[in-house]
Amino acid sequence: MSNDIKLNFINRSNDANNSSIVIFQKNISDTFDEIAIAWKVIKNCGRLDNHPFNYPIIFQIAASDSYGNYTPQLTACNGNAYEMVKSTSGNVLQSSSTPATNPEEVEIQNNLTNGDICAHCYRNGKLLATKTNLVPGQKAIFKFEPSIYIGVASQIEEGSFISSAVISEINTKITILGIASADIVMTGGSSEPFNFSLENITYIPVELE
């Protein structure tokens, strides 16, 4: 069975401004200084156009160091912990010998003797979340709900930070728990507020023991 949720954005709005649609997730870890990243931005999707995309259940993590080096992306599962260490070849990101403190979270710790690192999460190859300026001994903690936030925005690029002003205007939260596929339909526009809703939902079959 595929680990991807198949989503399909459909524009049924009356928007005449060719607005961009931004989709992001929030890292709900209490210790995370939240800065949202534009995971996906849909542009130039005209009225009655659709834009299919996948949401993988599994995400990847990586780290970058103060020298501008990026580690390979590693597949992460809840409860996993990783550490940035200095090996004979240089700085590398590896699995930690101890699991994450919380089994619902993923941890990335800076175990270098000197130098900051940045911890990154990716979903479907696109940057999902990041934590910057982790000094030696500090760790980033990532935890995501099975939901996405979606809204209309302008001048936002994928992988870029979303300002708090924009985030405050995007309050549509769509839960995708247990869903195999669905349409995300945008309506409204003109003098009406934009609205996003799920249609044609297919749920993941429940396996009976």
Mean predicted lDDT score pLDDT of the chain:
92
Q: List the domains of the chain with CATH numbers.
A: 4-56+144-203 (2.60.40), 59-142 (no CATH)
- Could you tell me if 113 and 133 are in contact, meaning their C-beta atoms sit under 8 angstroms apart? no
pLDDT score for 207: 67
Q: How far apart are CA 119 and CA 128, in angstroms?
A: 11
Sheet of strand 74-76: strand arrangement: 74-76, 59-65, 117-123, 126-134
Sign of CA dihedral 15, 17, 18, 24: negative
Q: How far apart are CA 39 and CA 123, in angstroms?
A: 8
Q: Quick one: tokens of 135?
A: 């000094």
| End-to-end CA, the chain | 17
Q: How far apart are CA 25 and CA 122, in angstroms?
A: 11
pLDDT score for 1: 42
**Measured torsion, CA atoms of residues 187, 189, 191, 196, in degrees rounded to the nearest 10:** 40
Q: How far apart are CA 96 and CA 86, in angstroms?
A: 13
Q: What is the pLDDT of residues 117-164, one digit of tens each?
A: 999 999 999 999 999 999 999 999 999 999 999 999 988 999 999 988
Q: Which residues pair with 95 in a beta bridge?
A: 82
Sheet of strand 4-11: strand arrangement: 50-56, 4-11, 179-189, 192-203
Q: What is the pLDDT of residues 46-73, one digit of tens each?
A: 999 999 999 999 999 999 999 999 999 9
pLDDT score for 164: 84
Q: How far apart are CA 58 and CA 133, in angstroms?
A: 25
Q: How far apart are CA 159 and CA 129, in angstroms?
A: 9
In the DSSP assignment, the letter for residue 136 is T
Q: What is the pLDDT of residues 158-192, one digit of tens each?
A: 999 998 888 888 889 999 999 999 999 999 988 89
